Amino acid sequence: MRDIRLAARSGGSAALALSFFALVATLVPLGVGADLKLLARVAGGILWVAAVLAALLSLDRLFQGDFEDGSLDLIALSPLPLELTALAKIIAHWLSTGLPLTLLSPLLAVLFNLPPPATLILFVSLLIGTPAVSAVGAIGASLTLSLKRGGLILPLIILPLLAPAVIFGAGAVSLALDGLAAQNALGLLAAFSFAAVLLSPFAAAASVRLNLGG
């Protein structure tokens, strides 16, 4: 619960993620050119990648704050299972990144000339998929929490693991753009997200323990 309150207070990080997301969504058309059909084609992939990267921005702080001031040791010793704490942090992170990003996405889809049905699928795919980003991100964050200059290694570790989410999510948008049914893609994305959120607290807790205990 404390983490959710913290997340609410860290509206700052949400603003950062949203700004990054919007900035990328602006830069890509500038780089790619104003061909509207092309933009619609790449919208799913670009916006998905941008969302993942934006969510990454605040990940390294996920455990580090508590680690540095020693409260992580206390949390680990408390009767509350560490896995639950990890899950709480994942949810808090999603509330401050994935969810706002999802809410902003229809607006950005306009920049890419994405038609409404595809925009809807984009929205749904981000809604379903961004929890996976937070979950897998938590694994990376917990593995690297003791690193001072851990900066770049965190994306290096978790981006390959997030490939299925990007594949399914962006793939769903492409299908919708072609007028095809996207249920299968969304279903697979949901399965991936579900498995990620279910399993990653265990991996994250194990990593926290190893970093605390040594």
Partner 1 sequence: MNFLFRYANPHEFMRLSGAVLPFTAVATVLCLAVGLYLGFSAPPDYQQGRTVLILFIHVPAATMAMGVYGAIAVCSVLSLVWRHPLSDTAARAAAPLGALFTALGLITGSLWGKPMWGTYWVWDARLTSFLLLLFLYIGYMALWNAVEDEARAARAAAILALVGAVNIPVIKFSVNWWNTLHQGESIVSGQLAPVFLTPLLLMMAGYGLLFLTLWMVRIRTAILERRARNLMQAGTP
Q: Does 52 bind partner 1 (CB under 8 A)?
A: no
Q: Which is nearer to partner 1, 115 or 160 (CB)?
A: 160
Choice from 29, 98, 164, 201 touching partner 1 (CB under 8 A)? 164
Q: Which is nearer to partner 1, 101 or 205 (CB)?
A: 205
Choice from 27, 36, 103, 147 touching partner 1 (CB under 8 A)? 147
Tell me the DSSP string of the chain: -HHHHHHHHTHHHHHHHHHHHHHHHHHHHHHH-S-HHHHHHHHHHHHHHHHHHHHHTTTTHHHHHHHHTTHHHHHHHSSS-HHHHHHHHHHHHHHHTHHHHHHHHHHHHHHTT--HHHHHHHHHHHHHHHHHHHHHHHHHHHHTTT-TT-TTHHHHHHHHHTHHHHHHHHHHHHHHHTT---HHHHHHHHHHHHHHHHHHHHHHHHHHHHHHH-
CB under 8 A: which stretch of 5-13, 19-27, 48-56, 180-188 binds partner 1?
180-188
CB under 8 A: which stretch of 44-52, 64-72, 79-87, 198-206 binds partner 1?
198-206
Choice from 73, 113, 161, 194 touching partner 1 (CB under 8 A)? 161
Distance in Å, CB of 73 to partner 1, minimum: 15
Binding site for partner 1 (CB under 8 A): 139, 143-144, 146-147, 150, 153, 156-157, 159-161, 163-164, 167-168, 171, 184-185, 188, 192, 199, 203, 206-207, 210-211, 214
